[in-house]
Amino acid sequence: MREKLALTVVVAVFLCACSEKARQVDAYDPARDYFSFANTEQFVTTRLALDLLVDFEARELRGSATLFMQRLDPDAMDIVLDTRDLDIAGAHVLLADDVATAADYRFGDSDNIRGTPLIVHLPEAAAGATEFRLQLQYKTSPESTALQWLPPELTAGGKHPLMFSQSQAIHARSWVPLQDTPAVRITYEAEIRTPPDLLAVMSANNDPLTPRDGEYQFEMPQPIPSYLLAVAVGNIFFAPLGEQAGVYAEPELLDASVFEFADTQEMLDQAEILFGPYEWGRYDLLVLPPSFPYGGMENPRLSFITPSLLAGDRSLVSVIAHELAHSWSGNLVTNATWRDGWLNEGMTSYLESRLMEVIYDKARVDEERVLSYQELLLDLETVPLNMQALAPRLDVGDPDDFQGTIHYSKGQLFLQFLENAFGRDAFDRFLFTYFDTFAFQTITTERFLDYLDENLLQEDSSTVSRADAEEWLCQPGLPDDAPVPTSQTLDDAKALAAAWAEGKIDITEIPIANWSPQATVHFINSLPAELDSDQLTTLDEGLGFSDTRNAEIGRTWFIQVAKRRYTPAYEKLERHLNRFGRGRLIAPVYTALAQNGTDLELARSMFATTRGAYHPLTEASIARVLDAEGIGSK
Ligand code: BES
Ligand code: ZN
């Protein structure tokens, strides 16, 4: 068994889907979405109309979804849709004459990751139709993996409930029955009914002046993949950030949000100069409660944002640059399947860094480049070889787990490598044309590679071959000539960490007040392994790490606190775990506790008291870590 496993890994690494050979050797098809049941070669959806009631008491959305469909295969009579935990009450087919005919439907076999296929059989009346509408009456389950229903006490104001969706990667199917694959793009309209004092917002045309009457209409005229469908409802208010940009948040967070994200309009203006026209109308932010599981989510026209960015000094706004940049890489040109995630995330991380350079300065961005490079190097030590390629073969597993540092940081580094090789001007022209060429399309890594080859690699002066690019895309680790980001300020911080640990300088000589949070993060990560408890106390008291307002500094410090078993800071570590719900900020702290050889039970008891406040996806991923540790240590 073990040998067989090892062999599979070797084959997977060396026969990556990029090579023609691989496609012949086995049946892996890089253009196929293995994470959807939908029969998109026979039917495609072009538009969606939602009509939903938001019921906070029952924790469910109820109503109908109407799919505007085209039949590509004239003989096909069964439409397979993706669902998860949906209760379907009826299906009707509407033809051009608007007459509704009931359709038979049944569920297929469920799958832990992909959910349950819904198979709708077209009635005879629709036999010859190439276009029709399919209307499904349904309601969601309180356990919908896409929706979090927050009681008032988990919001900033504490008086009103709040709900929000998170559809990426394959959770849209748990609040709408549809073809849940990025290969299909749809426009949509929605009618959302809420309790009258609450506001609904969507990844669509939000009108800041809409009357707050509990009935909200939306239109999304640009075709989007299903993972960008998004809705949120709560005691949410709007404040402008510029002509085209604004922010929605609970009133308690609105002023802080306006201050923190004041540069958003400028980011948008600069992004258009660099990447091409912004195709989506307005760009607003929605600041959610702490349980929002990510730093940000690029829902079109309305990025969803974690409140942990509210550091008070605008130091964490690279996340905003990132989500905004997705308006090009991801939302405009979309990865064909989750296996091509680097096309979304790696490209966006690169654009983010370019945007941050224009808005702020290169030194600051170099710091961020070094930090993400360090995270990548750490990851490369633990990620299995067959998952280290940018575009590995992936036909099983949970797409939520694919989006690691490889997609983000190795992807960013690949594009940085190309920029260095061809020069910034030529590479910028390439990117500009790339977005224009593939606007509102989904593409595979193979398509990207062909385009790159035709438009850049084959230039006479090119020093990069197709094989070089394939090495990045298909092989583990980093090529020998991969760029190595550097930062003088981070080097200085690292040197001071060593000097202080060796007793050469006093804690008061560390110029932390002049440092960026990134430099502080690097300082903490550079501390030598052998520090005693007294030294850690001197550090914490002298530099105030445990009381930091900056979530990234807190994350970095409390990982060290847990690894080093610095128990005097455990109370504040627990406060950190209660304060934040973003997976990145808390999961590695739990992991460090669980793996320090002593504190697995403590990690479990801290988790037990606070897990109810986490998003179900975050909760499940931490539970997996803590359970796996238990098994491993028995
Ligand atoms: N699209 C992602 C969030 C995501 C990834 C959701 C995978 C579901 C599955 C978003 O754009 C993102 O990358 N967020 C990062 C921000 C960061 C890298 C600047 C995050 O949440 O940490
Ligand atoms: Zn992203």
Is ligand 1 within 6 A of the CB of residue 617?
no
Phi, psi values for residue 125, rounded to 5° = -55, -25
- Residue matched to tokens 């694959």: 181
pLDDT tens, position by position, 244-288: 999 999 999 999 999 999 999 999 999 999 999 999 999 999 999
Q: Where are the domains of the chain?
A: 325-474, 488-633
Q: Which tokens go with 257?
A: 């949000």
Q: Which ligand 1 atom is nearest residue 330's CA?
A: 1
Distance (Å) from CA 555 to ligand 2 centroid: 20
Distance (Å) from CA 113 to ligand 1 centroid: 20
CATH classification code of 488-633? 1.25.40.320
Dihedral sign, Cα of residue 242, residue 247, residue 253, residue 259: negative
pLDDT tens, position by position, 500-551: 999 999 999 999 999 999 999 999 999 999 999 999 999 999 999 999 999 9
- Residue matched to tokens 């460090």: 592
505: Cα separation from own chain's centroid: 42
Mutation to probe ligand 1, out of 227, 294, 394 (largest number of atoms < 8 A from CB): 294
Distances (CA, A) of 151 to 160, 291, 380, 609, 616: 7, 12, 40, 17, 14
The answer to whether the CB of 378 falls within 8 A of the CB of 411 is no
Residue whose Cα lies nearest atom 22 of ligand 1: it is 295
Please state, in angstroms and rounded to a whole number, the distance separating the CA atoms of residues 588 and 586.
6
Residue whose Cα lies nearest atom 13 of ligand 1: it is 345
pLDDT tens, position by position, 353-370: 999 999 999 999 999 999
Is 408 catalytic? The answer is: yes
Where is pLDDT greater, at 264 or 628? 264
Is ligand 1 within 6 A of the CB of residue 595?
no
**Which of 188, 227, 408, 434 is the catalytic position?**
408
Distance (Å) from CA 319 to ligand 1 centroid: 9
**Other C-beta atoms within 10 Å of 46: how many?**
14
In the predicted structure, residue 403 carries a pLDDT above the cut 70: no
SS3 at position 45: strand
What does the mean pLDDT of the chain come to?
95
Distance (Å) from CA 339 to ligand 1 centroid: 15
pLDDT tens, position by position, 4-30: 333 333 334 333 555 544 444 468 999
Distances (CA, A) of 445 to 301, 338, 451, 454, 455: 26, 11, 10, 14, 15
**Which of 250, 260, 298, 323 is the catalytic position?**
323
Element (H, E) at 497: helix 488-501
Which of 146, 1, 140, 156 minimizes the C-alpha distance to 58?
140
Is ligand 1 within 6 A of the CB of residue 295?
yes
Please state, in angstroms and rounded to a whole number, the distance separating the CA atoms of residues 212 and 429.
45
pLDDT tens, position by position, 453-480: 999 999 999 999 999 999 999 999 999 9
Which residues, 6 or more positions from 520, have their beta carbon under 8 angstroms from its beta carbon?
Answer: 493, 512, 543, 550, 553, 556
629: Cα separation from own chain's centroid: 26
The length of the chain is 634
Which residues, 6 or more positions from 441, have their beta carbon under 8 angstroms from its beta carbon?
Answer: 333, 334
pLDDT tens, position by position, 218-237: 999 999 999 999 999 999 99
Q: Which ligand 1 atom is nearest residue 306's CA?
A: 21
Distance (Å) from CA 299 to ligand 2 centroid: 11
Task: Give the per-residue pLDDT at 26.
Answer: 66
The answer to whether the CB of 12 falls within 8 A of the CB of 393 is yes
Distances (CA, A) of 416 to 212, 340, 420, 454, 483: 46, 18, 6, 19, 7
In this prediction, residue 1 has a pLDDT band, given cuts at 50, 70 and 90, of very low
In the predicted structure, residue 633 carries a pLDDT above the cut 80: no
Identity of the residue numbered 135: Q
Distance (Å) from CA 542 to ligand 2 centroid: 36
- Give the ligand whose atoms come closest to the C-alpha of residue 230: 1
SS3 at position 487: coil
Is ligand 1 within 6 A of the CB of residue 288?
no
Strands 87-94 and 131-139: antiparallel
Residue whose Cα lies nearest atom 20 of ligand 1: it is 295
Task: Give the per-residue pLDDT at 604.
Answer: 98
SS3 at position 259: helix
Q: Can you give the pTM of this predicted structure? A: 0.96
The answer to whether the CB of 411 falls within 8 A of the CB of 390 is yes
Residue whose Cα lies nearest atom 3 of ligand 1: it is 297
Distance (Å) from CA 459 to ligand 1 centroid: 34
Find the helix packing angle between 264-275 and 424-437, rounded to 10°.
Answer: 90
The answer to whether the CB of 123 falls within 8 A of the CB of 101 is yes
Element (H, E) at 274: helix 264-275
In the predicted structure, residue 186 carries a pLDDT above the cut 50: yes
Strand intervals (E) in 95-214: 100-102, 104-107, 116-121, 131-139, 147-150, 162-165, 185-193, 199-202
Which residues, 6 or more positions from 328, have their beta carbon under 8 angstroms from its beta carbon?
Answer: 271, 275, 276, 351, 435
Mutation to probe ligand 1, out of 224, 322, 337 (largest number of atoms < 8 A from CB): 322
Is ligand 1 within 6 A of the CB of residue 297?
yes
Share of the chain above pLDDT 70, in %: 95
66: Cα separation from own chain's centroid: 27
The answer to whether the CB of 306 falls within 8 A of the CB of 288 is yes
Tell me the CATH class for 325-474.
Answer: mainly alpha
Strands 215-225 and 199-202: unpaired
Is 323 catalytic? The answer is: yes
Is ligand 1 within 6 A of the CB of residue 403?
yes
Mutation to probe ligand 1, out of 345, 379, 394 (largest number of atoms < 8 A from CB): 345
What's the CA angle centered on 163, arms 178 and 574, to 5 degrees?
120
**Other C-beta atoms within 10 Å of 525: how many?**
19
Q: Which ligand 1 atom is nearest residue 227's CA?
A: 8
Mean pLDDT value across residues 307-330: 98
Task: Give the per-residue pLDDT at 14.
Answer: 38
Is ligand 1 within 6 A of the CB of residue 322?
yes
Task: Give the per-residue pLDDT at 220.
Answer: 98
Task: Give the per-residue pLDDT at 393.
Answer: 87
Task: Give the per-residue pLDDT at 21.
Answer: 45
Task: Give the per-residue pLDDT at 16.
Answer: 52
Is ligand 1 within 6 A of the CB of residue 296?
yes
Mean pLDDT value across residues 548-568: 98
- Tally of helices (H runs) and strands (E runs) in the chain: 20, 21
pLDDT tens, position by position, 141-161: 999 999 999 999 999 999 999
In the predicted structure, residue 404 carries a pLDDT above the cut 50: yes
